[in-house]
Amino acid sequence: MEGDISLHVPSDAPASAPFARAKHELADSEFSAAVLSGFARRPRSIPCRFFYDTVGCELFEEIVKLDEYYPTRVEAFLLEAHGAEIAELAGQGRVLVEFGSGSSRKTSLLIGALGRLPAYIPIDIAAESLREAAEWLLSRHSDLTILPLIADFTTTRALPSVAKFHGKLGFFSGSTIGNLTQVEAQAFLANAAKLLGPDSAFLIGIDLKKPTSILIPAYNDARGVTAAFNLNLLARINRELDGDFDLTRFAHDAIYNWAQGRIEMYLVSCTQQIVRVLGQEFAFAEGERIHTENSHKYTVREFHALAGASGWRPVRAWTDPDQLFSLHLLRHG
């Protein structure tokens, strides 16, 4: 049987304009609102979801190849090493639903292990990356039925109708859940339980707590790719919000917050300066920081507690020999 791709948009999508364009316009106004309100607050902040414009996505693809950035490599190793066991414990014949699927590269390993699937539903806000990922996956799994869903994976309320007739296996890779606060992470897990339905399974990648000698270089690499990724937020403000940030007058910083158990990324003003955005002036003191990302790290036990609070029961956790990263299979209902 030939593979199939058909892009799905939720029923509340605007009918008059192509969804991708409408979403882009919405993203622009969301970006300006987030920057203006984030700069009015102290400490100043920009939500990390705005990292991922075209340049940011390209830089992120570079980050995942860095020697220092172990999560992607180790998660792929775990999927390869334990794919057969994951498939056996998850059970056959489930629709695979991926949250924030991005390039879907690791998903290929999981699909290979799961064998024949009724359908694969990747959920992502970026229509273009959904289309590219679907084409790439079909070149490797020619009989796969792919039903990409253009939506915000944190709030998706419904799946394409084929999902009604099968059990579901959710997949949320890369420890992206670590970029949410614990309250947001719990809300996401509860929403995912509703979306996937009774007796569903969920495979989640979680970055583990570890020495800062490993964590800090992962978020402050020698080649400065993560610095460029962080500074691209200011370049994006210049491009899209008529900003005049001088990127040489801000520096990337990544610290580990022990109390919160998370990496925090900042852009630090190197001098006292005034910057204009959308016609408004913002004064920055020397050393003043803009908070741009949290990346929470968990122990296996801490993650089980978080998942359990949203009704997910741990079935099995896999970790690598160096205890860098973990994969969790959960069940609901």
Cα 230 from chain centroid (whole Å): 15
Interacting residues with ligand AVI between 206 and 245 (CB under 6 A):
219, 226
CB atoms within 10 A of CB 139: 10
Nearer to ligand AVI, 159 or 188 (CB): 188
Nearer to ligand AVI, 71 or 170 (CB): 71
Among 267, 293, 310, 326, binds ligand AVI (CB under 6 A): 293
SS3 category, 150: strand
Among 108, 156, 176, 232, binds ligand AVI (CB under 6 A): 176
Give the contacts of 54 (CB within 8 A, at least 6 positions apart). none
Among 45, 107, 145, 179, binds ligand AVI (CB under 6 A): 179
> What is the nearest approach in angstroms of ligand AVI to the Cβ of residue 185?
12
Cα 120 from chain centroid (whole Å): 18
Beta pairing partners, 96? 120, 169
Beta-strand relationship, 4-5 and 95-99 = unpaired
Nearer to ligand AVI, 57 or 89 (CB): 57
Using CB atoms within 10 Å of the CB of residue 196, give its burial: 0 to 12 exposed, 13 to 18 middle, 19+ buried.
buried
Nearer to ligand AVI, 176 or 269 (CB): 176
- Under rule CB under 6 A, residue 178 binds ligand AVI: yes
Nearer to ligand AVI, 9 or 256 (CB): 256
- Under rule CB under 6 A, residue 104 binds ligand AVI: no
Question: Could you give the angle at the alpha carbon of 314 between the alpha carbons of 309 and 319, nearest 5°?
Answer: 120
Interacting residues with ligand AVI between 25 and 64 (CB under 6 A):
63
Q: What is the DSSP string of 77-97?
A: HHHHHHHHHHHHHH-SSPEEE
Interacting residues with ligand AVI between 61 and 90 (CB under 6 A):
63, 71
Nearer to ligand AVI, 179 or 232 (CB): 179
Q: How many residues bind ligand AVI (CB under 6 A)?
A: 11
Phi, psi of 141 (to 5 degrees): -130, 85
Please count the helices (runs of H) and the strands (runs of E) in the chain. Answer: 9, 15
> What is the nearest approach in angstroms of ligand AVI to the Cβ of residue 47?
13
Nearer to ligand AVI, 71 or 167 (CB): 71
Residue linked to tokens 């801490």: 302
Q: Given the rule CB under 6 A, which residues bind ligand AVI?
A: 63, 71, 174-176, 178-179, 219, 226, 293, 295
